[in-house]
Amino acid sequence: MKLKQLSVLLLAILGTSTVVQAQTAKPNLSKAFIQQQLDAAAKQIKVLASETPAEKFPKTFENGKEVFSSSSWWCSGFYPGTLLYLYEGTKDEGLLKKATEKLTYLEKEKNNKGTHDLGFMLFCSFGNALRLTGDNQKYGPVLSTGANSLASRYSPTTKTIRSWDHGSWQYPVIIDNMMNLEFLTQVSKMTGDKKFYDIAVSHAETTLKNHFRKDYSSYHVIDYDKNTGKAIGKKTHQGAFDESAWSRGQGWALYGYTMMYRETKKKEFLKQAQQIAKYILSNPNLPADLVPYWDFDKDKIAQSDKMYPNKDLRDVSAAALYASALLELSQYTKGSEALNYFDKAETILKNLSKVPYLAPYGQNGGYILQHSVGALPLNSEIDVPLTYADYYYVEALVRYQRLLSGEPMIKEIAK
């Protein structure tokens, strides 16, 4: 890419920034580099595909063994979604075929009213399928039915969507739930039914009010009084301790409010995303390669605490989330701020695209990335590949590819 073309590209990123700023910034990742990563990821995921039973969904690879889930597991939509993104990035029709075959086993989850994760399960999969194929007759009803199932978990008292039906909580809402709101806003545009949009906005506004500390770090779990709507507990489930900043949780928040600004144009959501980004990127415990430890406050864990023998583990899934979210956030900001987001996203993509985070071909069970952490306090999925790490890494690559090709970075399913 020539310097003049680069200047035009960066000027688009910076919006109303000066031409001088655009000319001094040069994207470091070329079309060839991005394509190389997408092609390698497509080759790797075919290894995973060869090991995956028709009715099962990849979850992780642990102790030398593949671990699969049923369609009802919260991660079930990420594998077909990754296949679809890789089809978009490589034009390999075989990947589209594998994805659509897998969707036949996932479709029944449109009627699942027992989980808040339907955005992950259905939007990442059927949403991408609709966007890429345009087959609204086939995929539209799945998405609208699923959105109604998700909306059934909304309480007008708490003004939030309930996350879990288990545990000792009265009405738990986790920061992860921000990620399911795009499902509702997009289906609202598809169907013209405003209730989905209203629920998404209400949930985001309530979460903004109750989920964040003064430094804009996020709690993991807020428990609400189901009768009054008052927040009665601020806890964690996957972080180091209640007042710690669980790294992936910060990613869910960053991505969620960036997306909700796009969907609503509400300035308070953009400001929130900017402040969350500032917390992450300026955190003294963020490593130089920008792949975070599993919790930003892991250093506050006592050395004698036997619960955390591996407290220094990184979480690649959080880094992949940061990369994709920062790329988008760079589109809604200006000047040095936009450049910073874009630069940090590039850095993460470069680092995830090599050892020790990128898995060698044919290894790691066919997963693209390695060294993620699911839930250290629960001793679950420790230093393993995770299907959602692959999804957000590939999403970030595809977003970057679109930008370099002069296309909109974000492509919606709603027409």
What burial class does residue 124 get, using C-beta atoms within 10 Å of its C-beta: 0-12 exposed, 13-18 middle, 19+ buried? Answer: buried
User: Residues annotated as binding site?
Assistant: 117, 176, 236, 248, 252
User: Residues annotated as binding site for substrate?
Assistant: 117, 176, 236, 248, 252
Contact 159, 206 (CB under 8 A): yes
**3-state SS, residue 66:** strand
Tell how far CA 361 is from the center of its chain. Answer: 24
Alpha-carbon torsion (107, 400, 335, 254), positive or negative: positive
C-alpha to C-alpha distance for 58 and 386, rounded to whole angstroms? 9
Q: Which residues are part of the catalytic machinery?
A: 117, 176
Contact 296, 247 (CB under 8 A): yes
Quick one: which of 120, 99, 136 has its CA closest to 178?
Answer: 120
Quick one: which of 311, 315, 310, 345 has its CA closest to 328?
Answer: 345
Quick one: which of 396, 317, 385 has its CA closest to 350?
Answer: 396
C-alpha to C-alpha distance for 331 and 262, rounded to whole angstroms? 10
C-alpha to C-alpha distance for 5 and 1, rounded to whole angstroms? 6
